[in-house]
Structure formats: C-alpha cells, structure tokens
Amino acid sequence: MNTTTTRPLAETANMIGDLIEQSARFYLDLLSSLSGSGLVATIDQMQDQMRRQMQQMTPGQLMGLMRRMAPQMRTGGCGCDIPPPCWAPQPIGEVLSHSCPGATATIRLRVTNCGATQRAITVEAAGKTPGVKIDPPNLSLGPMERGVVAVSVSLPADAAQCQDQEVLLWVRGCQQHYLRWTVRVSSRGGSCCHEVDVEDCPDLVHHWYDHFYCERQCLPRRTGG
C-alpha cells in the first residue's frame, strides 16, 4: 500500500509556524509596549515568509528543525533542564534481544571517530557475564574513520524461558560511552543482530551548565551495632 507524507509534513510546518508566531508576537508586543513603534504589524509578513520557507524544505530539513525546536515545544519556550555534564559517561541507549535457548544474540557497534586525531577505541563488558564474545575488543581509527565491533552472547541450550541476561557494555575512546543490553530467552527468538551507532567526538564547547556540577563522596555504609 502506497503512503504519502505530504499532509503530515504540511501539518508539521503549520505547527512550527504557529509556535514561532506565538514567540515572535510575545516579543514584538513587549517591544511595542515599550517603544510604541507599531512593530506588531510586521508579524503577518514574518509568518508568511516563514511558512513559504518551510514549504520549500525537504522532509529531512523539516525533521531536523523539529528536533531543534522539541525542547521549546515540551517546556513552553524555556529550556531550563540541565543536561548531564560533558565529562560524565555518555549513555548510548538500551537494547533488548530475544533469542532461543542455544542461540546467539549479536549486537554491532559502529564506532565513528569524529575527531581530528588518531583514536584508540576499546570495548569491554562489565563484570563477568558468561558467554560474551567481543570481536575485536580494540580499534585504531584515524580522523573521521569508522569501525565495527561485534559483541555476541551465546545462550546455553537449557536456558529457562523469559530469563534475562543483562550486559553492560563500555566503549572507551575520546569519551566513555555505555550501553545496556538485555538478552531475553524466548521460544520465538532466534539468532538476531542489532546495530548501534557510537559517535566518539571531542567536546570542544565550554558549557555553562558544567559549573553546576561537583563530585561528591558517597555516603558511608551503616553497619549494624
């Protein structure tokens, strides 16, 4: 069945235009009340121009604009949430795989060195998770080069149904990335392979919110007396 995205994209463009219009009207109303210059009269022209520009956008450009404006849409125009500090380990998501007893689940990590220097990448699993194989555990990537690391988990033939095996994977390069991978035993599973992209990029921006973080010691354990 053929589908089209013309109507959803048009509706999305109208939604973004309305959001920009509301923001522009607020600030122009404020300027007008202060200066009495009648700037509000230009809002209709601004709105028409923005809508014409968005109608000429490709679907990819329109989706990129939506992603950039998503925080303002969620918070009503105030991006007040403080992101995690740049020096903290960066999450790259969670993956759930379904595999039969005796089968092998595989995940492929596509690591990109988006820095300007040679980079050594290591991949390892935390703890002593049985049946985990990493091939290769180390990569040497030049500037903008990409490499693939395959991580597999072999389930025992007598594995119980609905049993979960969680693997915490670390990708260490310019930054530290971590992935939570859960392999669930299922009668309808099989050999499966997921792909996860890891962008290992240097952080060259001095963020204002980094000043809000400081490392604090964990609370001491209480022992029974």
Digit-coded pLDDT (tens) for 96-132: 988 888 888 999 999 999 999 999 999 999 987 778 9
How far is the CA of 225 from the CAs of 119, 219, 220, 221, 222, in angstroms?
51, 18, 15, 12, 9
CB 161 within 8 A of CB 177: no
Q: What's the pTM value of the predicted model, to 2 decimals?
A: 0.59
Confidence of residue 5 (pLDDT cuts 50, 70, 90): very low
Q: Whole-angstrom Cα distance, residue 216 to residue 225?
A: 26
SS3 129: coil
The neighbouring-strand residues paired with 138 are 122
With a cut of 50, say whether residue 39 has pLDDT above it: no
Each residue of 188-208: pLDDT tens digit? 765 567 899 999 998 887 777
- Domains of the chain, earliest start first: 6-75 (no CATH), 90-204 (2.60.40.10)
CB-based contact 61:12 (threshold 8 Å): no
- More reliable by pLDDT, 144 or 214: 144
